Amino acid sequence: MRAKRFVYNTLLLTIASLVIRAIGLSFQVYLSNKIGPAGIGLFQLIMSVQVLAVTFAVSGIRFAVCRLVSEEIGLDNPTGIRAAVKRCLVYALSFGLTAGAILFFGAYRIGAIWVGDGRTVLSLRILAFSLPLISLSSVMGGYFTAVQRIVKSSSAQIFENLIRIIAVMLLLRLVPLENLEYACAAVSVGNVLGEILSVALIMFLYFLDVRRYGSSKKKHRGMTRRMLNIALPLALSAYARTALGTLQHLLVPKGLQKSGASSEAALAAYGTISGMVLPVVLFPIAIFQSISEMLVPDLTDAQMRGDRALSNRIINRTLSICLFFSIGVFGIFFAYAKDLGFAVYHSAASGNLIRIFAPLVIVMYMDTVTDGMLKGLGQQMQSMTYNILDALLSVIMVYFLLPRYAVTAYVFTIFFTETFNFVLSIRRLSKIADVSIPLRDIALPFICIVGAVNFALLLLRLIGLPLSPVPLVIALHILLTLVLYYIFLRLMSCLTRSDIRRFAALFKL
């Protein structure tokens, strides 16, 4: 029952993540049509700084509150649950206010000098007000994860995104869109309004939910020390990783300018890749993020019981199934890239880049699942090290290669570093488990997706719906391709009935 409830919550988390990503992608499409690739590029620079500020504002507190509340629930100590949340709220608010003050008062130095574009300063000052709110939301999110109330935290995120989109759409009507500084500022104000209402909602839901727990006379000594022991190591590693990632993003437009591109052209190229193409390519990754979380307790339990055979079965079968899905997604992006780019962004350049990045889907998706397996086997420090090395290598390659090879170097850097990370991760996994993926599990899915794409194109052409950059037509082609791909996988015995029955049984109530 516990395993089924965990998977059920993971399914809800996956659905919520897909909904949030769908809303975010739709919003990104709207913004690209309003402010163009250069505007998207400028806003991506602003958000790269915001991500670093958020990392400091949160400072590992989400996982800390989740762990502390889970421990107090296990000890049947309701008073300890409230104490854990209170300690974490104080911690989060302290870091959030500090991060907000640094960003607000340092906006000019950060935007005009470090980023190198004075148009980012106003937006950075506006976004500074969101940092304490984000830190409080992280505490609430960790609490609801610990008490397995996924719907409540997810509803607050969806509500935040909807408010943000509505606010931005209204605010963009009040500013001249050709002025990218004011356009980005309008988007930033919308983000802050979304955070305000989201925090109000999730705090309200928390006070309603925590009433379920009464009080107890059990002591909860050392709560602050326990919190710091969990949060601070996570925070320090996150600082390093995020700082390197932010530095990489700031170096990209500068490197493109050094290669000969104008400031606007550099922002447009950067915005097209980071703000338009990659969100499309990474859209299905929410499924793999949920699967990676789902694997943690199963692998940990098998490892603690010393059942290596069970651990190996979980690892190898999961890798194979995820490989099937990744190859299918690759085939769809590769086959329909041109029309998908036109349908989503009305852009030939974005379609070409979607096709270029399609093969990387397999590496990125498989790496996400491999990271989850490493965490389930107690290898989180190695996984963190690989991510930091990945970020450091990205910075070095961007700094030295972009001034000489421009956009080609940026694309190559993404491919190389993602592959580098995956190779290190799968190599580590192979050392602590018997990883074995049969050649047929690699070759047959490629044959199946090629057949599925061509049959879908043929069938829809016969009924008078040839491929075209019309959203509904593209959606029908993708849906039919997925159905045919699944049928071919079954016919080739890549997916067996026992695989499907075992997975479906987890969701029976």
Residues 357 and 490 in one domain: yes
Q: How many CA atoms lie within 13 A of 271 on its CB side?
A: 25
Q: Please give the residue range of the domain that contains residue 218.
A: 1-248
- The string of pLDDT tens digits covering residues 459-469 is 999 998 899 88
Residues 242 and 379 in one domain: no
Rounding to the nearest 10 degrees, give the CA dihedral for residues 281, 282, 284, 287: 160
**509: pLDDT strictly greater than 50:** no
Residues 138 and 194 in one domain: yes
Phi, psi (degrees; rounded to nearest 5) at 376: -65, -25
Full 3-state SS string of 256-317: HHHCCCCHHHHHHHHHHHHHHHHHHHCCCHHHHHHHHHHHHHHHHHHHHCCCHHHHHHHHHH
Calculate mean pLDDT across residues 342-351.
87
| pLDDT at res. 11 | 62
Phi, psi (degrees; rounded to nearest 5) at 114: -75, -50
| pLDDT at res. 508 | 41
| pLDDT at res. 296 | 58
**Which three-class secondary structure state does DSSP give residue 403?**
helix
**415: pLDDT strictly greater than 70:** yes
Residues 28 and 170 in one domain: yes
Residues 114 and 198 in one domain: yes
Please identify, among 220, 248, 276, the residue that sits at the C-terminal boundary of a domain.
Answer: 248
- Within a domain: 397: yes
Quote the number of domains for the chain: 2
Residues 239 and 297 in one domain: no
- The string of pLDDT tens digits covering residues 358-408 is 999 999 999 988 987 887 676 767 888 898 999 999 999 999 999 999 999
Residues 315 and 463 in one domain: yes
Residues 350 and 457 in one domain: yes
- The string of pLDDT tens digits covering residues 162-192 is 899 999 999 999 998 889 999 999 999 999 9
Cβ-proximal residues to 284 (8 Å cutoff; 6+ apart), any chain: 325, 329, 365
Residues 213 and 290 in one domain: no
- Within a domain: 257: no
Residues 135 and 188 in one domain: yes
Residues 352 and 400 in one domain: yes
